[in-house]
Homo-oligomer: A and B are copies of this chain.
């Protein structure tokens, strides 16, 4: 059973919900965890929760990186922060994967500092999950979008590797035997999007074992692809746009509710349906999204993670290690010859 290190100090509700989540894991599963952070606070919190003490280690870290800190400077200045100490534990082999709900930029930098890239992988990718239409019973209601910010500009070989990494992860974690991989683009035709994207389209169609379904335009949420690939700038802007539009809908609805009793009544009647949509986008059921391309696995839990979300993230991390996602990525990457960087 793999051991999972957990950054106890990262996230909007840290350390309480993080420690609570790990306490749950110790009862619900046999996964050993290492909580990294302010030891006294962690032990105090643990004492107040039912847990199996023999499955939880605590490693002290003298500082923590805040959600709003500038990542580069924070990583440079805080050598003893929980995130860096956790990443070093994993790099040293004392744990097999790291989970954090903390500052996303700092998470990416901590991995890059402590972990080795998988042989042949040119750039790492930060994935994110997005809600989508479920087309058949049992289909995962969340798809995987990568990269969303680790590698801002990409050439074609990097995008091809992101497709391979996302596919390997989805195959093992979502139990989709042959994940459908799409390329985020400005049109459906193979030649769309300029030289980088049209070259990527051609290459992806020829990767053995990869189920490439072509370009994805517009709505990501149609369920046409399980994994959607793009460069980091595009993925990050897309993700924030989707969140932004969702906020506008909520804004309009709550403005309307203040203005008129008919709106209020309408919204009350609609609330059960709205709850269904909210459940679909409830990240706590999912557990987080991976940073892919390093030998060691990192699962980034949502900043607003509660105990349940953290417990799920730990379980996902353990599953990914057990199912050897990194090994699967290394094997697939090795089958695709990549041009030398110019």
Residues of A within 8 A of B (CB): 70, 149, 152-153, 184-187, 189, 193-194, 196-197, 217-221, 230, 232-234, 236-238, 240-249, 252, 256, 260, 262-263, 265-270, 272-273, 277
Task: Give the docked Cα–Cα distance between A248 and B219 (Å).
Answer: 8
> How far, in whole Å, are A186 and B263 apart by their CA atoms in the complex?
35
B236 A238 Cβ-Cβ under 8 A: no
Q: Whole-angstrom distance from the CB of A113 to the nearest CB of chain B?
A: 19
A240 to B238, CA, bound (A): 10
Number of copies: 2
Q: Bound complex: CA of A332 vs CA of B13, how far in Å?
A: 50
Residue in B234, B262, B277 whose CB lies within 8 Å of A269: B262
Q: Which residue of B lies closest to A266 (CB)?
A: B269
**Chain B proximity of A18: nearest CB distance (Å):** 25
Complex contact B243–A218 (CB within 8 A): yes
B residues in contact with A263, CB < 8 Å:
269-270, 273
Contact of A245 among B149, B246, B267, B277 (CB under 8 A): B246
The DSSP consensus for interface residues of chain A is helix
Q: A230-B237, A263-B273, A269-B269 are in contact. List 16 more A-B contacts (CB 8 A).
A: A70-B189, A152-B193, A153-B196, A185-B233, A186-B237, A186-B240, A217-B240, A218-B240, A221-B244, A238-B238, A238-B241, A245-B246, A249-B249, A256-B270, A263-B269, A265-B269
> Chain B residues with Cβ under 8 A from A187's Cβ?
236
B residues less than 8 Å from A194 (CB atoms): 152-153, 233
Q: Is the CB of B252 within 8 A of A273?
A: yes
Which residues of chain B are near A193, meaning CB under 8 Å? 152, 233
Q: Are A220 and B241 in contact (CB under 8 A)?
A: yes
Q: Is the CB of B242 within 8 A of A241?
A: yes
In the complex, A197 Cα to B246 Cα: how many Å? Answer: 26
Q: A256-B273, A270-B270 are in contact. Are A242 and B245 (CB under 8 A)?
A: yes
Closest Cβ of chain B: how far from A132's Cβ, in Å? Answer: 9
Q: Determine the distance from Cα of A230 to Cα of B230 in the docked complex, in whole angstroms.
A: 16
Instruction: Give the complex CA separation of A284 and B52 in angstroms.
Output: 65
Please pick, from B186, B196, B244, the residue contacting A219 in the complex, using a CB distance under 8 A. Answer: B244
Would B269 and A237 count as touching, CB distance under 8 A?
no
| Chain B minimum-CB-distance residue to A272 | B262
Specify the chain B residue showing the minimal Cβ separation from A149. Answer: B186
What are the residues of chain B within 8 A of A266 when measuring CB–CB? 265-270
B237 in contact with A184 (CB, 8 Å): yes
Instruction: Provide the residues of chain B in CB contact with A197, threshold 8 Å.
Output: 233
Given A266-B267, A269-B262, also A248-B233 (CB < 8 A): no
Task: Specify the chain B residue showing the minimal Cβ separation from A255.
Answer: B273
Question: Taking the nearest CB of chain B, how far is it from the CB of A225, in angstroms?
Answer: 13
The reply to whether B152 and A186 form a contact with Cβ atoms under 8 Å apart is yes
The answer for the CA separation of A217 and B237 in the assembled complex, in Å, is 7
* Selected A-B contacts with CB under 8 Å, 20 pairs: A153-B196, A185-B233, A185-B237, A186-B236, A186-B240, A194-B233, A197-B233, A218-B243, A219-B245, A233-B234, A238-B238, A238-B241, A245-B245, A252-B273, A260-B273, A262-B270, A263-B269, A263-B270, A265-B269, A266-B268
